[in-house]
Structure 1
Amino acid sequence: MTRLEVWAPDGMPEVSAGDDLAGLVLAAVGPGTEDPIADGDVLCVTSKVVSKAEGRSRAGDREAAIDEETVRVVARRGATRIVRTRHGLTMAAAGVDASNVALGSVVLLPLDPDASARSLRRAVRDRTGVNVGVVVTDTAGRAWREGQTDIAVGAAGLVVAEAFAGRTDPHGNPLAVTLPAVADELAGAAELAQGKLAGRPVAVVRGRADLVLPPGEDGPGAASLVRPEGGDMFGWGAREAVVRALVGDPADRTPFGSPAPAVDVAAALDRLPDPHDTTALAATCFAHGWTLEEWRRREA
């Protein structure tokens, strides 16, 4: 039998720039508290309190902060921007948040959430001798699904994804691509206990000590869960992909992915209503990682 326990203590004070975050966390879940952490626990902390402690909150314009954190706009619907951030994350508003912060201020994501997680893990180990995994969490939407859930934007001392490829299920079926993002699952479980408005930014997840790495081993971090540019099937929003393909700027090519096999390009071109429409031919080739000139040379 496997049992998972999650709890989030009340009473965490407001965090400000320069505060000893590890000290505040341990005051809530460390030795001597009602439910102290133990070896093998996973400590989940919201990115917002990490950012506040690191001085990543500031007064000013939210849109300007989004611009600053954005590497590339993936999609735009009205005032809503889905962007790829400096971290490689694809999320609404670049993770810039104006909630649970002083009026007129915004909070940006930590500069390096994995480094923040490593620092907190080391501090907990140094001060208590307890070996925990650490997850820095943030809220994100999902393609194809309504609503949001928390994900891991930073992690340390933790297996962030369980690789099942190459194994077989109980019926003998081979598993090819199964890769549960357990760091994200832990972040979602923690959020159920934390809530959005309860002022509980810290949670402890117990029951998956098998995912916690030995002291001194921090693992690949949550950055390893980020797909590289061009590795995602949805590098552009649906509308944006059409426009980018028609414009055909070489700088826009990478998010479309690596060049498609010739058979796929041919099948797409065969679907065009006018096989002599140069604009449509060029856009279709571009979307598949080819130029029209490259395709014509191949067909010659």
Structure 2
Amino acid sequence: MSLEIMPVHGIGHVSEGDDLAAMIASAAPWLRDGDILVVTSKIVSKSEGRLVDVPADGPERLAARAEVLAAETARVVAARGATRIVQTHHGFVMAAAGIDASNVDKTRLVLLPVDPDASARALRAALRRRHGLDVAVIISDTMGRPWRNGLTDVALGVAGLNAVHDHRGEVDPYGNELELTQMAVVDELAAAGELVKGKCDQVPVAVVRGYPTTARADDGPGARALVRESSLDLFSLGTAEARAVGLADAAGLPDGTCPTPPDPAAIGRAIAAVRPA
């Protein structure tokens, strides 16, 4: 197998309402069927109008950003100082809900697309319908990883490609049946695309060519397939947050020596007392 990873230059500034399919097709007339587009979520968000106005600096900016973060947060996973790791309404666990202030005017913040899988499907459909191209589309964004330094790009949305390559049931060269191996191939492709996009080069789209798969006729289940169910997540909270939940649960347990149920107000005061720890 041999892969090519190519940057798409010349897309330029993206504003609300811009036609991303036309911009990409114009900047990359060399696109061909079977290619995989890796598109930075920021230009998708800009074209979809996922921006909010905030003060340029000062405490008013911090207050406005905190309000936006609260609106984008489904639950707080961990907090340390001003840093918040949260689960978004999409199910992604990320720092600051993926809110971005880079490569945008200082008075604006960029939010994640409302539905990255739908965005990927729409872009793929437009390229097929208006430009005759049968390509797969990955919407990517940058994330950190627990237990590892540094950032990498991952897939938030995908159309035309399976998010996971499931090796379960296959037999390795030593005769061992694979029982757990599921490769998040769209995350690997998103990270590969980032190698030629960069963060300061204003290259928001990359093309991966030669990946050995046939593009799906349908769009597939999308990147939502990568979101782990909370019941299967062994690390669903940070240490302090897990301790607070444990204390709250313990406070509600019945006491065999007390015939009356616990006082909810007293439980609330106890949780408030330990929360700063």
Structure 1 Cα separation of the partners of residues 117 and 162 of structure 2: 13
**Paired position in structure 1 for 2:134:** 131
- Amino-acid identity (%): 51
Shift, 1:67, TM fit: 0.8
Does residue 101 of structure 1 match 2:104? yes
Structure 2 Cα separation of the partners of residues 249 and 115 of structure 1: 42
Alignment check: 8 A CA contact 1:167 1:175 kept: yes
Structure 2 Cα separation of the partners of residues 23 and 209 of structure 1: 27
**Paired position in structure 2 for 1:185:** 188
Deviating more after overlay: 9-18 vs 45-54: 9-18
Query: Helix, strand or coil for the counterpart of 2:183?
Result: coil
Does residue 47 of structure 1 match 2:41? yes
Alignment check: 8 A CA contact 1:159 1:211 kept: no
Amino acid at match of 2:143: A
Structure 1 Cα separation of the partners of residues 108 and 126 of structure 2: 29
Question: Which 4+ stretches in 1 moved above 4 angstroms?
Answer: none
Q: Which whole-Å deviations, capped at 9, do the CAs of 1:29-57 have from their partners, x for residues lacking one?
A: 1xxxxx61111110010100000000001
Shift, 1:155, TM fit: 0.4
**Paired position in structure 2 for 1:28:** 27
Shift, 1:207, TM fit: 1.1
Alignment check: 8 A CA contact 1:6 1:193 kept: yes
Alignment check: 8 A CA contact 1:41 1:209 kept: no
**Paired position in structure 2 for 1:6:** 5
Query: Helix, strand or coil for the counterpart of 2:225?
Result: helix
Amino acid at match of 1:153: L
Alignment check: 8 A CA contact 1:40 1:209 kept: no
Comparing both chains, which one has the higher relative contact order based on Cα–Cα distances under 8 Å and sequence gaps of 6 or more?
A: 2
Query: Helix, strand or coil for the counterpart of 1:223?
Result: helix
**Paired position in structure 1 for 2:227:** 226
Structure 2 Cα separation of the partners of residues 65 and 99 of structure 1: 16
Structure 1 Cα separation of the partners of residues 87 and 251 of structure 2: 18
CA RMSD between the two structures = 1.6
Amino acid at match of 1:48: K
Matches within 5 A, 1:105-184: 105-184=108-187
Shift, 1:121, TM fit: 0.2
Shift, 1:250, TM fit: 10
Structure 2, unaligned runs of 5 or more: 55-63, 256-277
**Paired position in structure 1 for 2:266:** none
Number of equivalences = 244
Structure 2 Cα separation of the partners of residues 211 and 125 of structure 1: 16
Structure 2 Cα separation of the partners of residues 38 and 172 of structure 1: 39
Taking structure 1 as reference, are residues 7 and 249 closer, same or farther at Cα in structure 2, changes over 3 Å only?
farther
Q: Which whole-Å deviations, capped at 9, do the CAs of 1:52-81 have from their partners, x for residues lacking one?
A: 000001212222211111000000011110
Structure 1, unaligned runs of 5 or more: 30-34, 252-277, 279-300
Amino acid at match of 1:99: S
**Paired position in structure 1 for 2:216:** 213
* TM-score (ref. length: structure 2): 0.85
Structure 2 Cα separation of the partners of residues 174 and 70 of structure 1: 40
Structure 2 Cα separation of the partners of residues 18 and 86 of structure 1: 24
Shift, 1:211, TM fit: 5.1
Amino acid at match of 1:233: L
Matches within 5 A, 1:268-279: none
Shift, 1:212, TM fit: 2.2
* TM-score (ref. length: structure 1): 0.79
Structure 2 Cα separation of the partners of residues 249 and 192 of structure 1: 48
Alignment check: 8 A CA contact 1:98 1:107 kept: yes
Amino acid at match of 2:20: L
